[in-house]
Amino acid sequence: MLHAVFIKGVFQDSVTLMVLSRDLSATPGVNRVSVMMGTPANKDVYRETGLWHEALATATPNDLCVVVDSDDDDPAAAETMAAQLKERLAQLARGGKRSGYPRARSWRRARALLPDANLALISIAGHWAFEPARQALEDGCHVMMFSDNVGIEQEFELKTLARARGLLFMGPDCGTAIINSAPLAFSNRVPSGPIAVIGASGTGIQELTSQIARLGGGITHALGLGGRDLSERIGGISAMTALDLVARDAASRVIAFVSKPPAAAVKARILEAMRALGKPVVALFLGERPDRRNIGEVHLARTLDEAAALAFELSRVDERASSLPGVAGRGICGLYTGGTLAAEAALLLAEALELEHDAAHADGYMLRAGSHRPRRVDRDARDGGGSASGGGSCARGMDRGQRERHRQHE
């Protein structure tokens, strides 16, 4: 049987409430307990999970809701659980005082305690979150806003201010981030490495970082944007700033980007910015099936698994490439003993380097673009009766046995 009660004017962040829900659910005689703030989104969760109770109808986003599912039909069950909850919250408060960490009840006090800090993490009721976030930005701090229920116009105002000051605003409702390998809020502990993750999807960031770690890769930063950042109203303001930041970060060699379905104009603007970064980017716009697999150095993925695998592989390629001598100004010239092989090489090369494909195939050349010239060798040349050299830095074609030995060696 369901019992419900709400405690007015008590705010706790979602991480604390998940822990409390888990612990209270272990109470004898209780099937499960759910403790959440009375936001519209959380009320929908109660409905969808079969825990909705009419007593919650008048709860506000600043009220703490307690729903108890138990075999006891005594309505006092919820009150009893609420009393236990209050005691747990009091214990948490006493523990915070004993921790030795300084306490602040205003932005000015927090700033005085840590004058050199350059990032503020804000986790208070959304109704009150705007003003301290604005003050933090005006004081030169990046902001991670864990708070939700912040209006979209307030979000636009805060992100516009942040962009004008060269600062990153992550959120609202940004529940996960990694900054210089340090996890913030609800985050996984993953190895350090050369991949930066940017996301307008908290779950997407969590999954990408986990998958990359599982493959053996590592993360420099994971920057959350807030789920509405790529909407038409917000326009990708924080996404553009995040891309700028990781582009300037020498340790971030590969970028993985994940977003809920974006507005079309915003997506186009983000893709253009990605192409200009000069670093390989893996982009995943959830729910879309891209017609092309890559646009320049932007690789378009279809799933989280694919995005993680691509980012990891690109980081390995980048690592290997950094140990090779520079080849700027030189070209790729291949000699092939079959027209199909030469055509395939030309097609892949043209696609990767965004070159015009040569449909004429004059003199056996499948592509002529600068010093890039894959060419089919004619019969006379294969028999030793002619030359097929095209100049440049050339890789000579291999017969079937050579190709097989090369694959085995690789």
- For the chain, percent of residues with pLDDT exceeding 70: 90
Q: Do domains 102-173 and 175-324 have the same CATH topology?
A: yes
CATH of 2-98, one of 3.90.350, 3.30.1360, 1.10.1760, 3.30.1330: 3.30.1360
- DSSP class of residue 32? E
Q: 210-214, 268-272, 352-356: which range is least confident on average?
A: 352-356
Q: 88-102, 209-223, 356-370, 392-406: which range is least confident on average?
A: 392-406
CATH architecture of 102-173: 3-Layer(aba) Sandwich (3.40)
Q: Look at the alpha carbons of 388, 394, 398, 402 in this order and tell me if their dihedral is positive or negative.
A: positive
For the chain, the structural domain boundaries read: 2-98, 102-173, 175-324, 333-409
Q: Which amino acid is at 92?
A: L
Q: In what order do the strands lie in the sheet with 219-224?
A: 182-185, 176-179, 219-224, 192-200, 254-259, 281-285, 298-300, 294-295
pLDDT band at 387 (very low <50, low <70, confident <90, very high): very low
> Measured over all CA atoms, what is the biggest interatomic distance in the chain, rounded to whole angstroms?
99
pLDDT at 382: 47
pLDDT at 48: 94
Residue range 108-114: mean pLDDT, rounded: 93
Enter the tokens of residue 161.
């201010």
Nearest Cα neighbor of 312 from 290, 275, 284, 280 is: 280
Rounded to whole angstroms, how far apart are CA atoms 388 and 334?
A: 10
Is the model's pLDDT at 214 over the cut of 50? Answer: yes
CB-CB contact of 177 with 222 (8 Å): yes
Q: Between residues 248 and 359, which one has the greater pLDDT? A: 248
- For the chain, percent of residues with pLDDT exceeding 90: 52
Q: Rg (Cα) of the chain, in Å, rounded?
A: 28
Residue range 362-388: mean pLDDT, rounded: 66
Is the model's pLDDT at 407 over the cut of 60? Answer: no
What is the length of the chain? 410
pLDDT band at 404 (very low <50, low <70, confident <90, very high): very low
Is the model's pLDDT at 54 over the cut of 70? Answer: yes
**pLDDT tens-digit series, residues 115-173:** 999 999 999 888 889 999 999 999 999 999 999 889 999 999 999 999 999 999 999 99
pLDDT band at 406 (very low <50, low <70, confident <90, very high): very low
pLDDT at 373: 77
Enter the tokens of residue 295.
């646009």
Listed in order, strand segments (DSSP E) in 232-391 are 254-259, 281-285, 294-295, 298-300, 333-336, 375-376
**CA 57-59-64 angle, 5° bins:** 135
pLDDT at 181: 85
pLDDT at 67: 92
**pLDDT tens-digit series, residues 323-360:** 777 766 678 888 888 788 888 888 888 887 778 777 77
pLDDT at 111: 93
**pLDDT tens-digit series, residues 275-318:** 999 999 999 999 888 888 888 899 999 999 999 999 999 999 88
pLDDT band at 73 (very low <50, low <70, confident <90, very high): confident
Enter the tokens of residue 3.
């019992």
**pLDDT tens-digit series, residues 216-239:** 999 999 999 999 999 999 999 999
> What pTM, to 2 d.p., does this model score?
0.73
Element spanning 169, H or E: strand 169-170
pLDDT at 385: 44
CATH class of the domain defined by 175-324: alpha beta
Three-state secondary structure call for residue 191: coil
CB-CB contact of 168 with 160 (8 Å): no
Element spanning 127, H or E: helix 126-138
pLDDT at 388: 40
Q: Look at the alpha carbons of 367, 369, 370, 372 in this order and tell me if their dihedral is positive or negative.
A: negative
Count of CB atoms within 10 A of residue 233's CB? 12
